[in-house]
Each structure stands twice: as structure tokens, then as C-alpha cells.
């Protein structure tokens, strides 16, 4: 199976306040994206391709409401808390956090966990407390994955090495995988590889050989779990990624990187079409 994921980050913020949203009012942004893509996605066999979109939390209810009953599209949040409600237990005093049960209750199907931006945020909190145990991030993410699965959500788990870690990439990725997935039902998880060292303006992305090497290693460590490219599936690398048989899909974010940068549904659909060879 192929997996096409979309991480919409904070692309809902209008341009007048420094964002890149040019496609709809903030109130209509989530429904606009769903309604302008789901019919076209139905043209692909849902048994062969999985589509999931991860929205900022404020847009989830609108996005879920715009989804048709027979839609092949999964919708979800950008991470969940590693704790949750339970019958006879905590009834929900999780101020400022989103839980898996809360996301499932509003109609979500999937969740993005361990994105490099989430990892960086957790590391900054540890550093503020004068902590030095970076491995704690993987343990926290493991709790999030377990909580998400317990709530009935499928998980896209992101891993990746930064520039300082690249010389020991095998050690870094193995720890992220073994600790992050400890005790987890792996049938509910797909892995996304983010080359953090190559993400950003002016940086050189990995080539097909490097991506193949990483994907092969991840499959070896995880006993063959599906791996998607999380460094940005886009128009100019879609054919190259499609040629790497060890890669099972990709994670899309921005669709336009120059001019009026941002996310545009028609360009998103074109990326999918190119990657899938239609």
C-alpha cells in the first residue's frame, strides 16, 4: 500500500499577519481543503492508497464535517497527549492539551506524532529544566503513540537526524524506533523519515540513494514496517521518490515554495498524480 500524508502545520494564518493562507478565510480554511480534494482522491483505489490530512486543532471539526460519508480521506491532529480519559479514571482534566479520545470523539482517524518540530519543542522544555536527557523525548513520544492507538487512531510516527547527528544516523534512528515503538502495535503505525539536516532554505535534499539506504535500514530495524519520505513530497521530487521501491509514500506540506508560497489544493492533487504515475 502507498500512503500520502498532508501536514498543514500553521498554514491557516493569513498573509497580513505573516502566514501563507491565501485560499480561504480562517473559518472556512479546513472545509475548503477537504471539499476541494476529496472527490478527486476518490479516483484512486482506496485499497491501494491511504490519504490522511493533519490539521491544526482549530480546524478539525470543520474538516471532519466537510468530509463525505464515503470519502477515502482520513483526518487527524498534529500529535496527542500521552495520557487520556478512562472509565473509572481521569474524566478529562487535561487543560491546554488534546487527547486521543477527544480527537476520536470529533471524528478523527489518524494522528501525526514525533514531527521534528514537536521533537524540538519537547527538547526545549527539557533544556529549560536544565535537563540533558534527550532520549526522554522518545519515551514521551512512545506514550503518545500508545495513547493514540488506544483511542483508535492510526499513527504516522516521524523520525530523523539533524546535522549534528548525521554522522551517527544509525544510532539516532535506531533509538527513535526502538524506544518510540516499544510495546506498540506496529500494525497501527507508519514511519515517516525526515532528513532534518536537509530541511530549510538553501539546504540540499537527500538523493535517491540516501533515501533508499535510510528506508532499507528502517525496514530492517522494524521488521518491514511501511516507510514514507517525510522531508517533503513535492512536484520536483515526486518521480524520483516513486522510483525508490523501498519508500511507501510521502508527506506533503507546502505545495509552492516561491512567489506566493503556501498550500494550494490543486497543486496538492498534481503532486499525488505525479507520484502515483497517473
* Structural contact between residues 158 and 195, judged by C-beta atoms closer than 8 angstroms: no
Which set of grid coordinates corresponds to residue 85?
480519559
Nearest-10 Cα torsion for 72, 109, 52, 214: -130
In the residue annotation, 59 being an active-site residue is answered as no
Buried b (16+ CB within 10 A) or exposed e, 75-109: bbbbbbbbebbeeeeeeeeeeeebbbbbbbeeebb
- Closest listed residue to residue 271, CA positions, set 47, 24, 4, 71: 4
Identify whether 194 is a catalytic site residue.
yes
The rounded distance, in Å, linking the Cα atoms of 98 and 108 is 12
Distance (Å) of CA 62 to CA 66, 107, 149, 212: 6, 10, 23, 38
Bridge partners (DSSP) listed for residue 192? 158, 228
- H helix intervals, the chain: 29-35, 38-41, 60-66, 100-105, 116-128, 136-150, 169-180, 208-222, 238-242, 265-276
From the list 118, 144, 161, 194, the catalytic residue is 194
From 50, 115, 144, 161, active-site residue: 115
In three-state secondary structure terms, 11 is coil
194, 7 contact by CB (below 8 A): no
Q: Supply the residues annotated as catalytic.
A: 115, 194
Amino acid at each position: 500500500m502507498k500512503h500520502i500524508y498532508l501536514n498543514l502545520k500553521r498554514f491557516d494564518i493569513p498573509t497580513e499577519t505573516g502566514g501563507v493562507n491565501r485560499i480561504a478565510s480562517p473559518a472556512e480554511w479546513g472545509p475548503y481543503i477537504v471539499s476541494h480534494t476529496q472527490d478527486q482522491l476518490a479516483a484512486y483505489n482506496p485499497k491501494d492508497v491511504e490519504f490522511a490530512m493533519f490539521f491544526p486543532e482549530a480546524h478539525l471539526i470543520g474538516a471532519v464535517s466537510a468530509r463525505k460519508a464515503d470519502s477515502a480521506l482520513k483526518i487527524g491532529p498534529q500529535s496527542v497527549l500521552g495520557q487520556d480519559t478512562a472509565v473509572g479514571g481521569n474524566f478529562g482534566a487535561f487543560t491546554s492539551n488534546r487527547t486521543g479520545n477527544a480527537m476520536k470523539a470529533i471524528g478523527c482517524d489518524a494522528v501525526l506524532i514525533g514531527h521534528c518540530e514537536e521533537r524540538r519543542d519537547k527538547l526545549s522544555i527539557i533544556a529549560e529544566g536544565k535537563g540533558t536527557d534527550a532520549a526522554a523525548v522518545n519515551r514521551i513520544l512512545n506514550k503518545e503513540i500508545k495513547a493514540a492507538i488506544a483511542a483508535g487512531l492510526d499513527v504516522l510516527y516521524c523520525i530523523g537526524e539533524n546535522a549534528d547527528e548525521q554522522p551517527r544516523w544509525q544510532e539516532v534512528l535506531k533509538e527513535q524506533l526502538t524506544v518510540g515503538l516499544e510495546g506498540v502495535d506496529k500494525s497501527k503505525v507508519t514511519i515517516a523519515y525526515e532528513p532534518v539536516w536537509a530541511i530549510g532554505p538553501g539546504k540540499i535534499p537527500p538523493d535517491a540513494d540516501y533515501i533508499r539506504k535510510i528506508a532499507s535500514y528502517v525496514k530492517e530495524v522494524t521488521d518491514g514496517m511501511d516507510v514514507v519520505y517525510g522531508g517533503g513530497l513535492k512536484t520536483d521530487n515526486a518521480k524520483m521518490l516513486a522510483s525508490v521501491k523501498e519508500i511507501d509514500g510521502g508527506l506533503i506540506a507546502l505545495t509552492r515554495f516561491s512567489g506566493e508560497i503556501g498550500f494550494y489544493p490543486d497543486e496538492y492533487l498534481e503532486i499525488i498524480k505525479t507520484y502515483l504515475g497517473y
